[in-house]
Structure 1
Amino acid sequence: MRLKWTLLAGLVLLVAAVLAVIVMNGPAPKALTDLSGSDPDSAAVKEEPTPEPEPDVEEASTDIVVIGSEMEGMYLARAAKDEGLDVVVLDPREKIGGQLLQGEMLFLDETRDGSGKLLVQGRAKELFDGFRAGQIRKLSEFTDYYNNKLAKGIPIESGIQLKKIETKPGANGEETVTSILYVKADGSHHRITASYFVENTDYAAMAGQLKVNRLPGLEAFYGKNEIEYMSAGMMMKFKNVDWQKFKTHFNGLTAAERNKKYGYGNVNESYAIGLSGMTSAYQPSNDRVFLRGLNAVNQRDGEVIINAFLIYDVNPADEQSVKEAIELGKAEIPLILEHFRKNIVGWENAELNGFPDYLYIREYDHYETDYVMQVSDMLGGRMFYDNVSIGGYPLDLQGISVQKWGIEMGRPDKYGMPLRSFLLKNYDNVIMAGKNVGSSAIAYGSARIQPNTALAAESIGVILGQIDGKKKLKELTESDWPQLHAYLQEKYQIKLTNIQATNKLAGWTEEEIRKLNAGEIIFPQYSRSK
């Protein structure tokens, strides 16, 4: 007890000594009086945080800025450069080439008309001819083509961040994009001004920041409330495949034997298509992935790459969503390999040949352009006075989570694609390249195919060079087009006029066409029942 009182007395003496020092040396520091609540003026002397200094911004200008390095828009860049314009490519992705090089989507879909005639034109024809001939099959060969035929001499800055899209009022009540403020991978800030800006990413990195009108997507067609895009693909890469044994075995079977073992399909020296009976027998490990019929290409030397593996509910604008999908693929593809080894002759010793760094993204948001292509334009074989491409391909809607197989909505003969479907509505200098083409979600099933939009991009690049300093793209009138089309045909062998297409909607009523465009009529079923 005495010890406790002694300690208490010592503590009292210590406090008294501290108070004496405070009285002798003036008022207590602000921090102490604030804590006691005894200083009514404490708020008045709080220091404001020092504002961050504005970063130095390096200024530059050019004729055309292309956002993204997807193959389709690079045809525009190449053509404009060859026509004498200055072009700069700013790529938000860390590596160039997008779907083609990073996603390794190396199975090329050709476009043909209803009679089987090849529709591929322009610079893309060299790529497709090389692919068909077996000369461009491996990633290294596609990379050489991309670097030497498309990107050579064009500045490309990868890994940039778009910080601000700067605009001003333009002509006819529209807006003009004046410049883009961006940050390089090294952290430096830059602003670039240009006459035209091209959206060439697979997730609308630039256009999505503008005042855009999103068109209804596949959710409207499939009756979903939430937005969902066509399934993404992850390319499957294999090695040590005995393709000759595979082909010889497959073609040595009777039709009944082939159907029993593999289902419908065909195999030749270069491709294996279908075999959907065999793929349907595979049971995925989870509901977000699916193995459909094969689009397989023999890359030579025992290497094979296949477009057949689908991943659902992927948002390409969400980096985490893409990463999760890639991990799903890395977990599932080894299981698919085991299925192939057990069920395909010639694949007994097949092994994984690595994984692509990225996905094959089929679809993102559809934004309104000056003209939005419809199903009836395609099946009706419509041609436009401002054609920049001649398209063709089935209206192929790849599946989503509620309809895993997808659906085909009809097969056009061929059709025109107008410049207006590549010009963003309400902006007078924004061009939508590649997957950003203006089309309904159903028409997009055909419009999206590479040769269609690659030719359009090349034509637009040439036209930009021809009208430089004379007119803007949106100022072109019908009377300007004969000369532009003649130049494209004479110098680049791109034929866009005097083309007759089969109208598969002849005799249809306006109401039938409305229902077709809205997805209420599925053409293959309806046309057979009429």
Structure 2
Amino acid sequence: MKWNGKNISISIVVLALIAVASVLFVNAGRNQEKPLSSSTPEAPSGTQSAKPIPTPTPTPIPSEKVDVAVIGSELEGLYLARAAADEGLKVKVIDPREAFGGQVLQGEMLFLDETRDEQHRLLVQGRAKELFDGFRNGKIRKLPEFVQYFDKLKKDIPVESGIKLEEVKQIPGKFGPHAIESVTYSGKDGVKKNLQADYWVDNTDFAALTSKLDATRMPGLEKFYGQNNIEYMSSGMMMKFKNVDWAKFKTHFNSLSPEERRAKYGGGSVDDSFAIGLSGMTSAYKPTNDRVFLRGLNAVSQRDGEVIINAFLVYTVDPSDDKSVAEAMELGKKEIPLILNHFRKNIVGWEKAELNGFPNYLYIREYNHYETDYVLKPSDMLGAKMFWDNVSIGGYPLDLQGTSANKWGIEMGRPDKYGMPLRSFLLKNYDNVIMAGKNVGSSAIAYGSARIQPNTSLAAETIGILIGQLRGEKKLRELKEADMPALYSYLESKYKIKLTGVTGNNKLAGWTQDELAKLDTGEIVYPSYVNKRKK
């Protein structure tokens, strides 16, 4: 078919008219569906007018106000909670871990390290003394006995486990840049709650609260060991056994001559309750995985043939990562049965020993170190330094457990005793954040001693008492040296806690400032250097 110019022009006009008509038809339909005017036209008879959909009213988040909010349920911070409650304050514990009791109840770290000075005098004070005395004399050895002790600590204090911190509301501080006003968290049921408090205590083993704040992380052991990556002291997994003939074990071990003992066990000691060392026997065990290690024993008889041992280490564990913790637990569950076979073959009295289950959690030794108002140093400890704001009298070797770079770890010196100041438990730049237990403000090297439970347990209890005595009239940060004598008198008269008039043996007398600086950075290792220095 052929088209001339006239036909083409007519066709174009027709097509254009059709297109215009289509647009008008579509727009007419749209105008019926959704009027362009913001006003609603009157509906035709027999129809209902369109009603706006109401905006749902948000459900208000339940809110609670307390004097002291403790995040986490590690032993040390529970002493603060108990002391504050006994002083009449309103206290609440919210715990990000699924179950209560931290390294002691969930990790079953039931081998307690006492603190003593170099004359072997006990340094444990306060409420912790009941626990440590009970452990030493054999009355608190099994898990149910520890649970009973913890139940007394938390009596009448509300505890919520398995919570998730959702939001931390910060405001300008009165004494520094920051303060915490409130925390929003969700419970196991997913319901959100709001908690307000005058003081906030980080009592977790992974800085659950502090990691959400504007806090400064200090160098860790990676600097001392020359590692490029952050790594914490090895975590422990407690080994639980039953059907051990402890009497036979002790009798045999002590019947050996020193030469025979060294040949079979590599030395150590065994008495009615404890087996320490035997590192010759443990080092003969060859692990199946580079991430695990069997060091010398810290073993305790729990009575009735039950024994629990702190000696199995797992490296490169991140306590803030649930997956990392779970992986470490699986490594332990695979390795510990093999270690049992090694013990059966090599320790007299262990021939019929069996596994007695596994703990629910690891013994976490270390996480990040955050800056506090005062950071404890090795020179403070070995120099027996006392502070005007002592909240604890500490002691214990500077025991640095190993990392993957140094599996055996190292001891950096043995203090006599030293003070621990309130300022080492106050997070820098925050008015109302208290660092409990493993969160104590210390350098990575000083932490080897500071971390031991009696040291930070006494500090926490003292701080709880101080908050109660101040009654909101003063904040912890407002305390001056002149305020302390009356508070110390109260601590001693009511709680038998003595923090003044204590002197220790200064093992650094005559050292130069350069030597002290090198000691604090780890360039000087005290046990080896002090002998050279005398020559």
TM-score by length of 2: 0.89
Aligned residue in 2 for 1:102: 106
Aligned residue in 1 for 2:480: 477
Contact 1:55/1:189, CA 8 A, preserved across alignment: no
1:245 partnered with 2:248: yes
String of CA shifts for 1:458-497, please: whole Å, max 9, x gaps: 0000000000121000000010011111110010000000
CA distance in 2 between partners of 1:220 and 1:319 (Å): 25
Residue type of the alignment partner of 1:511: D
Residue 59 of structure 1: which of 57, 63, 68 is its match? Answer: 63
Residue 526 of structure 2: which of 504, 508, 523 is its match? Answer: 523
Aligned residue in 2 for 1:158: 161
Aligned residue in 2 for 1:114: 118
Task: Pick closer, same or farther for the CA change 1:191–1:520 going to 2, 3 Å.
Answer: same
* Other structure's SS at 2:269 match: strand
CA distance in 2 between partners of 1:457 and 1:165 (Å): 23
Residue type of the alignment partner of 1:293: G
* Other structure's SS at 1:131 match: helix
1:145 partnered with 2:149: yes
* Other structure's SS at 2:104 match: helix
Contact 1:65/1:90, CA 8 A, preserved across alignment: yes
Q: Which runs of 4+ in 1 moved over 4 A?
A: 50-55
Q: Shift of the alpha carbon at 1:98? A: 0.2
Residue type of the alignment partner of 2:328: A
Residue type of the alignment partner of 1:348: E
Q: Shift of the alpha carbon at 1:500? A: 1.0
CA distance in 1 between partners of 2:349 and 2:264 (Å): 14
Contact 2:175/2:477, CA 8 A, preserved across alignment: no
CA distance in 2 between partners of 1:361 and 1:27 (Å): 70
1:491 partnered with 2:499: no
CA distance in 2 between partners of 1:461 and 1:406 (Å): 34
* Other structure's SS at 1:57 match: coil
Q: Shift of the alpha carbon at 1:56? A: 3.4
Contact 2:274/2:299, CA 8 A, preserved across alignment: yes
Residue 275 of structure 1: which of 252, 261, 278 is its match? Answer: 278
CA distance in 2 between partners of 1:372 and 1:267 (Å): 38
CA distance in 1 between partners of 2:118 and 2:482 (Å): 31
CA distance in 1 between partners of 2:272 and 2:329 (Å): 30
What does 1:87-236 correspond to in 2, within 5 Å?
87-148=91-152, 150-236=153-239
Contact 1:251/1:267, CA 8 A, preserved across alignment: yes
TM-score by length of 1: 0.90
CA distance in 1 between partners of 2:208 and 2:512 (Å): 40
1:509 partnered with 2:509: no
Q: Shift of the alpha carbon at 1:176? A: 1.0
Q: Shift of the alpha carbon at 1:55? A: 5.1
CA distance in 2 between partners of 1:99 and 1:401 (Å): 22
CA distance in 2 between partners of 1:51 and 1:324 (Å): 47
CA distance in 2 between partners of 1:493 and 1:374 (Å): 28
String of CA shifts for 1:274-331, please: whole Å, max 9, x gaps: 0000000000001000000000000000000000000000000011000000000000
Residue type of the alignment partner of 1:91: D
Residue type of the alignment partner of 1:203: F
Q: Shift of the alpha carbon at 1:174? A: 2.4
CA distance in 1 between partners of 2:208 and 2:532 (Å): 44
CA distance in 2 between partners of 1:348 and 1:27 (Å): 91
Residue type of the alignment partner of 1:346: G
* Other structure's SS at 2:69 match: strand
CA distance in 2 between partners of 1:296 and 1:270 (Å): 8
Residue type of the alignment partner of 1:118: L
Q: Shift of the alpha carbon at 1:53? A: 7.9
What does 1:257-268 correspond to in 2, within 5 Å?
257-268=260-271
Contact 1:274/1:295, CA 8 A, preserved across alignment: yes
Q: Structure 2 unaligned segments of length 5 or more: list them.
A: 1-21, 30-53
CA distance in 1 between partners of 2:524 and 2:498 (Å): 33
CA distance in 1 between partners of 2:462 and 2:381 (Å): 20
CA distance in 1 between partners of 2:277 and 2:26 (Å): 88
Residue type of the alignment partner of 2:202: E
String of CA shifts for 1:165-204, please: whole Å, max 9, x gaps: 1110011332110000000111111001110000000000
Contact 1:56/1:189, CA 8 A, preserved across alignment: no
* Other structure's SS at 1:172 match: coil
Q: Shift of the alpha carbon at 1:54? A: 4.9
CA distance in 2 between partners of 1:516 and 1:73 (Å): 30
1:73 partnered with 2:77: yes
1:303 partnered with 2:306: yes
* Other structure's SS at 2:473 match: coil
CA distance in 2 between partners of 1:159 and 1:480 (Å): 39
Q: Shift of the alpha carbon at 1:52? A: 10
Measured on the aligned residues, the alpha-carbon RMSD in Å equals 1.7
Residue type of the alignment partner of 2:393: I
Residue 392 of structure 2: which of 389, 393, 397 is its match? Answer: 389
CA distance in 1 between partners of 2:244 and 2:322 (Å): 34
CA distance in 1 between partners of 2:227 and 2:415 (Å): 27
CA distance in 2 between partners of 1:216 and 1:397 (Å): 15
Residue type of the alignment partner of 2:131: L
Q: Structure 1 unaligned segments of length 5 or more: list them.
A: 1-22, 31-49
Residue type of the alignment partner of 1:261: K
Task: Pick closer, same or farther for the CA change 1:225–1:498 going to 2, 3 Å.
Answer: same
1:342 partnered with 2:351: no
Aligned residues: 487
Contact 1:263/1:276, CA 8 A, preserved across alignment: yes
* Other structure's SS at 2:175 match: helix
Task: Pick closer, same or farther for the CA change 1:162–1:52 going to 2, 3 Å.
Answer: farther
Task: Pick closer, same or farther for the CA change 1:298–1:54 going to 2, 3 Å.
Answer: same
Aligned residue in 2 for 1:8: none
CA distance in 1 between partners of 2:91 and 2:176 (Å): 27
String of CA shifts for 1:106-138, please: whole Å, max 9, x gaps: 000000001100000000000000000000000
String of CA shifts for 1:424-471, please: whole Å, max 9, x gaps: 000000000000000000000000000000000000000000001210
